[in-house]
Structure 1
Amino acid sequence: MGIGRSASGEGFDLSNPANSFVDVARRVVLQPVRFFGGLPRDQNLLNPLVFALVCVVVSAILSGLLVLLGVQQNPGFNPNPQNAIPSTFAPTSALASILFAPIGGAIGIFVAAAVQQLLVRLVVGENNQGFASTFKVASYTQVTALVNWVPVIGPLVALYGLYLSIVGIREIHGTTTGKAALVVLIPFLVVLVVAVIALAWVGYTLSNQG
């Protein structure tokens, strides 16, 4: 799977980054079926990765500024599972989070795509478009991170990312909505269960210490 420029203008175009970023962000949010359905099924990873990292870094900077200004104590939570995994690699310090965002974001996106591709093979079957296509969905749905920093509103709006992820998996792999939903929601539910167990354990430990 190579990393290179896309031969198509359907996705993010590094040769025209500013205009392409705005156009792609708009189409992902407003026309997800058409956008993901029209993405080239090539092995290009660089363009979608750069798009995703711009979203992650912008979110980290704006969220970090809110923390430094005392508006919020922690960066906002993005319930989109495509964003949840990258978030786990971010430090809790606002400044460190900003500096670490590109590295943590890249690692998280690759991990998220790998997990979802495994589920694609299990749920959709071997007749799928491969890791690169799943990686594109994981990358382009990072657009929801752009509103992740907005207190209260951000997490609510970011729930739309679940829909975008399901549409992306469905369109790019040519599967059903039900199977795509399983691919997207299984990691989310696993993370949710682990978080609940962890919180329960912390609460139990603190109560015993008291």
Structure 2
Amino acid sequence: MIITCPECGFERQVNPDKIPARSQMATCPKCKTKFKFRDLPEEFDFVPDPHPGAVAPKPEDAGAPSEPKPRPEEAAAPQRHEPQQADGEQQGERPDLLPGLEDPRHDKHEELWDRLGGMTPPEEQQDHEPPYHEEAPIPEWIKRREREAEAEQEIPGAVEGVKPPFEDLEHFGFFPGLFETIKRICLAPRLFFEAMPLGNGLGRPLVFALLIIVLHDIFQSIYMYTGIVPLPTFQGEVIQMPAIGMGSQLALTVLFSPISAAVALFLISGIYHAMLVLLRAASGGFEATFRGVAYGTIPVLIGLIPQVSDIISQVIFVFASSWFMVLVIIAWQAMHRTSYLKAGLAIILPPLVIMLLFFAAAGSVPTV
């Protein structure tokens, strides 16, 4: 049964079995308005006789004067017996007809709603009841699909992520930030590039790559100057190094190595980005392409190992090149939101084209 307040419209579902039989008034717990919530059928005001088996004594037997006989019209009407008042009862009170039951005269309408569970307005209950979707666990594949859909609609540069430690030197410090960045790229490259935000510029990635390359060149200069590694050769002939001191050689390396490395980084990144654009896999812009190349220079650190022979040099070159391509593919897939296939094609096609052009030019050169 639904009870609705006509004043404020508050309503509540009530079990009819819990409503007293004679109750028809209710008090709204919200606005305190009393109203009639149902109509009861009219009943006869029947009062049972307290002595149903007793027979009234005759006037002749009691010795009392006889009462006048009722008139015909009064005799036809049914007699109503008034109950006798017990000792100590006040005038106007009715006796307890059925002990153990509630007095039917007691009005239940004021406490009806309070007795039925302490009804409260629906608005108050909704404030305390959490919605169903927060209680039910959401599958992980749905969360991943929602994140991918949101990432596709976001504009590169407005994505908020976790900065690389080298780009947050105010918090990490220079050397701890540098070492922490190298560690994250080596141990968790996918997580590192997926969390990397775009829109912070190319300065910090460029400085990071230059530090790696210059460090490699300094160690190689020391190895060649001390004779730990053989001098480079060209067409079987050893390239003679200028007769200068160790300090001068290191100074030249520190001076010219960053310039040549920066030019090479931008040139390679430009070629790779053109391939990504052709493959329609450059949604992150040139910044994402350059960041992948810059932070992918970690394998250059393998060159710190002295290359004492040609075999070791070739093994290190193949391993470092393969590792570089893997890191760059992971970076482009994460930051460009593309597939591994397109990222792999973008990094493999330029070397293949260069090799084909080289062999074609070598084949066309006339021989004597």
TM-score range relative to shorter protein: 0.7 to 0.9
Partner of 1:35: 192
Partner of 2:275: 119
2:345 to 172, 176, 182: 182
Structure 2: how far apart are the matches of 1:7 and 1:113?
23
Look up the SS of the partner of 2:297 in the other structure: helix
Letter in 1 for 2:213: V
Letter in 2 for 1:163: V
Partner of 2:140: none
CA contact (8 A) 1:141 1:165 kept: yes
Look up the SS of the partner of 1:12 in the other structure: helix
CA RMSD, aligned part only? 2.9
Partner of 2:166: 12
Overall identity of the aligned pairs, in %: 25
1:37-84 superposed Cα distances (whole Å, 9 cap, x missing partner): 111111411110110000010011111222222313239xxxxxxxxx
For the pair 1:102 / 2:258, whether they are aligned, the reply is yes
Partner of 1:74: 232
2:294 to 116, 119, 139: 139
Letter in 2 for 1:74: P
Partner of 1:25: 182
Q: Which of the two has greater strand per residue?
A: 2
Which moved further from structure 2: 176-185 or 157-166? 157-166
Q: Deviation of residue 157 (structure 1)?
A: 3.1
Which structure has more RCO (C-alpha within 8 Å, separation ≥ 6)? 1
Letter in 1 for 2:262: A
Structure 2 length as normaliser, TM-score?
A: 0.45
Q: 1:93 to 1:164 in 2, by over 3 A?
A: farther
Q: Which of the two has greater helix per residue?
A: 1
Structure 1: how far apart are the matches of 2:360 and 2:241?
24
Structure 1: how far apart are the matches of 2:272 and 2:253?
25
For the pair 1:157 / 2:319, whether they are aligned, the reply is yes
Structure 1 length as normaliser, TM-score?
A: 0.75
The structure that has the greater radius of gyration is: 2
Letter in 2 for 1:10: P
Structure 2: how far apart are the matches of 1:59 and 1:19?
19
Look up the SS of the partner of 2:230 in the other structure: coil
